[in-house]
A and B are shown apart, each in its own frame.
Chain A
């Protein structure tokens, strides 16, 4: 038989090992080498504090008593983890964005940073945790007792109590050492997380080892094991539906609301991505922990005496078969399960007590308006150390009072039911903006009272707190208030009765009080930020104006965050504002940032109250909220307007760019034209001068005389035409032209134009004569001039071998239009925009014969007539469209 002293030595050695691991992790994190401490694996393992001594010892006992029902405790969390996309993802995001420090902080922060809610939730959680802590002490004590019995000492009550006390003291020391070393801005504890990760591995390994031993070492293999189960008292499937569903719900809900689970799930979460891994890895861990429970229970029932405590089968089975090493491992597994839970639970509770009870009391004791003095950090840390001791002491007291005899699972369920009372407020708070502070308070208080009355107080045993008389007849003879048969509904399972009534009444009160009350501005603000946490809304500010001095705020922040961190915070903000030194402008935004930082250390409610001391009377009001909403709407509208304006500017810029290109092209062409026109004027002038000189010399034949004077005449005509064109254009441009409005058909005009322009030229002109009866009321002569110009242009410039001009009259969206399309090579794109300008000329052909004024004149005429002429690109040749004016 294993010597009891060896066991003590192993336990102590294991404890020292945990100290060393925690210490090393802390050191490593301090030196910035803690990257590996922040892996999804460590995160998943830290969640395993869900599997406490209740799992390690109690699950087997539970299975021995009630068959597969123990599985509900692991199926609930499995469903919650697999459904991480619904709730956990949102909780973790909120926890990070709002710097939540605990479940009480979450509820308090959501409902307007309410101090009273923080206090209520803290008290509820401390009460609910007490039986659970007692459970851990009881299981560790019992496991010691097993070894003591094995080495020949039968322990009495006093011995057990002494061990329980020592275990509690040891745990308190460890937790105080590593849980309150510093006031971390994010409430993260590297050393402790590492230690519980190691313990997670130890307990899984130990349970699996016992399971493997039982299946292959005792039963002889899986199939024999199944035969053993079939032959055991557990063989029949006889599961109560209500308990199966009710306990699955309870465990899933408690997984979210237990302070220690919230601590590891949300507060210690370093990266949202870890949740993704944990969402399947943690259910896998639970599965591995549960896999061997039924085999161990069945074999234990088979081999051990009837009176043996099934809660300790994991330990007594290897011991009775003489496997001391395995028993020792199993003991360490149970020890790990108990200690890791106690450590995290006490830290979580201590944080809540210091942030939501001690600090608010201390703040209010200083009276309104008093400036914070003294070292708040020391106060908070001191409060936490005391709270850790106090919570463990309460657990010890419960253990002593309850007699330490109850089944572990029964104790655990009491605790779960208490913690779950926060669920309606929590879920309502993160999904429903209509949830109010008063609703949450009402729901939690009602749930708390029902839980106390129906489950917690009766758990001390008959006559301990509630007299037997009341249990049977109700208080003051009011039968419908009997603790185990509320409203005279009897015959229900005690546990399910308590869960059903407490959660139902809690939810009903939460909902209806929320609906009937009106939230305060800060509640509405926080509600919007919680519910819409994924929408990245910057949200409204909790502070509107600020009368605080930056220096006062810095002094306060130093006392809470520590000098270096506070100075960094102020320095960064000052730099962001573009100021030198450590004192930024105290803007509402900065106050917001500061408050959030402080909330990471002392909780939202306390941080709000502390900042409020400096920023008096400037907290947010309903009007501010509405104003902010308006502002947001205005900003949206403004940005829309900006967008429209920028589009307009872009359009203008594009137009300017085009105009510039046009001007540049024109200026080049103008230069070209000047040389062209001087050339045009000089050439006829030169020939006129030369031939008139020859004529003046006389002595020519009449034949020569006729020829030379003919040349002079032709050149003079050319000059006149050029000058006519220039004059015509200038008259048109200056608007001095008088229009001679007449009625005429398009066909007549085109007939005139064709005969005038195309006489004797080799060009085919295709016309659709049918439509051309259209009557126009306009200046017929001027319009004909435009047609003549277009036709003669086509004749001059069309470079096809067999030039064809199509003239097509039809109706377009702009009205009646006349298209002139030839089959030449058309006008290159870069020239299309300048052809209607004066002096523009695409080629230097002498055959053009004009000075590049024709199309400019056409455009001026069309503008005067109220029509339009434009180049029609993409027709396979040069194409001009004339929008006809005055069509009937």
Chain B
């Protein structure tokens, strides 16, 4: 008789790594949101402070990095064969 799948408390290394990658997938948008708000801390209307061009470059760089990280991450999570029957 097949034993009912019980929730595992501890996992082997690969499974553990996948769980942590899911954690990264959860945290990444929060990090992104914070980084997108960083220019709000910059001085306003200051002739010496960073201007629109700097903000633009900063935002597009953050944006690109987020996209790149997410692409790597989803590729990794895609190898996750059991992602359709996941437990938290």
Contacts and interface: CB of A to CB of B under 8 A. Distances in A.
A237 B51 contact: yes
Given A229-B53, A234-B52, A283 B66 contact: yes
Q: What DSSP secondary structure best describes chain B's contact surface? A: helix
Contacts of A643: 1, 3-4
Interface in A24-74: 67-68, 71
Nearest to B44: A238
B29 A283 contact: no
A237 B55 CA distance: 7
Contacts of B44: 236-239
B1 A642 contact: yes
B59 A68 contact: yes
A280 B52 contact: no
B29 A83 contact: yes
A272 interface: yes
Most A C-beta atoms less than 10 A away, residue of B3, B33, B47: B33
B71 A244 contact: no
A234 B85 CA distance: 51
Interface string A235-246: 111110100110
Interface in A147-175: none
B22 interface: yes
Given A68-B59, A280-B67, A287-B60, A237 B32 contact: no
B32 to A, nearest CB: 5
A234 B45 CA distance: 11
Contacts of A280: 67-68, 70-71, 74
Nearest to B63: A287
A79 B36 contact: yes
B11 interface: no
A281 B75 CA distance: 12
Interface residues of A, number: 44
Interface in A215-259: 226, 229-230, 234-239, 241, 244-245, 248
Q: How large is the interface on B (under 10, 10 to 19, 20 to 34, 35 or more residues)?
A: 35 or more
Contacts of A279: 70, 74
Interface string A78-99: 1110111110000000000000
B60 A68 contact: no
Contacts of A273: 78
Given A235-B53, A237-B39, A78 B66 contact: yes
A281 B70 CA distance: 9
B78 A276 contact: yes
B70 A236 contact: no
A232 to B, nearest CB: 8
Contacts of A84: 25
Interface string A674-693: 00000000000000000000
A86 B68 CA distance: 19
B70 A639 contact: no
A85 B25 contact: yes
A280 B74 CA distance: 8
A277 interface: yes
Given A273-B78, A287-B64, A82 B32 contact: yes
A15 B56 CA distance: 36
B84 to A, nearest CB: 7
Contact of A237 (B25, B37, B54): B54
Interface string A368-392: 0000000000000000000000000
A142 to B, nearest CB: 27
Contacts of B57: 226
A239 B42 CA distance: 10
Interface in B11-28: 22, 25-26, 28
Nearest to A276: B74
A283 B56 contact: no
A534 interface: yes
B85 A71 contact: no
Contact of B56 (A75, A79, A229): A229
A646 interface: yes
Interface of A: 67-68, 71, 75, 78-80, 82-86, 226, 229-230, 234-239, 241, 244-245, 248, 272-273, 276-277, 279-281, 283-284, 287, 291, 294, 534-536, 639, 642-643, 646
26 contacts: A67-B52, A75-B36, A75-B63, A83-B26, A85-B25, A86-B26, A226-B53, A226-B57, A229-B51, A230-B51, A236-B51, A237-B42, A237-B52, A237-B55, A239-B44, A244-B37, A245-B40, A283-B66, A291-B60, A294-B52, A534-B87, A534-B88, A535-B87, A642-B1, A643-B1, A643-B3
